[in-house]
Structures are given as structure tokens and as C-alpha cells.
Amino acid sequence: MFGLAGGDHAWLLRRSVLHPFGAYHDPVDYDDAELAALPRTYVACTAPVFPTAAPHHARVRGLQGWKVVEMATGHFPMVTEPVRMVALLAEAAGAR
């Protein structure tokens, strides 16, 4: 499931909750200029690629202003590669 097996899969199932579907249809108010000025990093998990994420991987690669970082892991890098995921988030946030 999503590139997880064994203990990682069981660990995630014990902690999973339903996705808040409002995130898919509730509008988000933002200022285009302020948003465009922010640095953006997209983490593309590629082994395996979550099927519904593949179009988003392709789309963001074609957008200006995005840094795309690939991780050879499944959809839950915070479970399978937590140290690398934290490092990527810290780097994206500008932490040294």
C-alpha cells in the first residue's frame, strides 16, 4: 500500500485518519503576488509513484519557480525516509 510494507504499513494504519475532503473543494484566499514571491519545493516520490500523483509530478515540472526534488520512495517519505524528509523540509524553509 503506497510503497509501505510490514511494520511501516502497520504503523501507518494505526495512525491514519480520514482525509479532510474540504481541502479539495473549499476555496483558499491568497494574494497572487505574495504567493509568487515565496520559494516553492515539490517533493516527487517516485518508487512507486502514487497513481493519482503522477499528473501532478508532470504539471509542477512545467511550472516556473518550483524546485523539484525526487525521492525514491513511496507516498509516505515521512515514514520510509524520515531523516531525509526532515532535511528536505529544513532546506526548503531556509534552515541551515
**Span 46-79, pLDDT tens digits:** 998 888 888 999 999 999 889 999 999 988 999 9
Distance separating alpha carbons of residues 78 and 90, to the nearest angstrom:
13
Distance separating alpha carbons of residues 41 and 10, to the nearest angstrom:
29
What pTM does this model have?
A: 0.81
Domain map of the chain by residue range?
Answer: 6-92
**How many distinct helices (H) and strands (E) make up the chain?**
6, 2
Q: What is the pLDDT of residue 19?
A: 84
**pLDDT surpasses 60 at 29:** yes
Cα–Cα separations (whole angstroms), residue 26 to 18, 35, 48, 59: 17, 18, 30, 22
Cα–Cα separations (whole angstroms), residue 10 to 7, 16, 17, 21: 5, 10, 14, 24
The residue written with cell numbers 479539495 in the block is 24
